[in-house]
Amino acid sequence: MRAMSDALPATFTTKVARSLGAHPRDLYAWRDAGEIVEMSRGVFRRGDALPASYPDALAVAHRAPRAIVCCLTAAAVHELTDELVGSLQIAVPKGGHVPKIDYPPTVVFRFDPDSFDLGLSAFEAAPGEQVRVYDAARTVVDLMRLRHRFGEPIAHSALYRFLATPGARPALLLDYAQALGVFGPVRAALDIASAR
């Protein structure tokens, strides 16, 4: 491992390791020796790497690079909820490949391809390693449009927290709501929030 440690990134896949000359048996020997940690099937992290703040999101991002962290997981990233999220929630475009990820526990949502990248952002899941996530405004709108699944209290709480953040842009919520077909419910929730 020492000879390869300079070549391997902090988090890497079996494919990346193989492209750098490592054999799969090397990966398992390094794992058994504690030099690397297997984060998910085919995703590893060097033992000498700085700790990841969001290791599950980092692992899933390597398994499904097109996916975007969404819903309650995104709300937790943006500090819009105190809900404990039991499974990582990601979105993929409808009609595209749906990843099957057993570990870490992952729930996959299928979003419309036409608005899939709307509100796309990124966050640092580990030092120097970015993971795709919907921005705070898109997350609020997604929770509003999926309130039948997550509950109105969670959606409204996320909305209130969003509005309380410095620089919050309610107009952006309405733009996203229009594009995602939930303008009426989001407008009504904003009216209630502004009357508080």
Say which residue the tokens 């398994």 belong to.
63
Model confidence pTM above 0.85: yes
Q: What are phi and psi of 169, to 5 degrees?
A: -120, 95
Tokens for 185? Answer: 């419910």
Closest to 111 in 3D by CA, of 188, 40, 172, 179: 179
- Tell me: the pLDDT tens digits for 74-116? 999 999 998 888 899 999 999 888 888 889 999 999 999 999 9
- Tell me: the pLDDT tens digits for 118-164? 999 999 999 999 999 999 999 999 999 999 999 899 999 999 999 99
Per-residue model confidence (pLDDT) at position 165: 92
- Band (28; pLDDT cuts 50, 70, 90): confident
Residue extents of the structural domains in the chain = 2-46, 67-194
Which residues partner with 90 through β-bridges? 69, 108
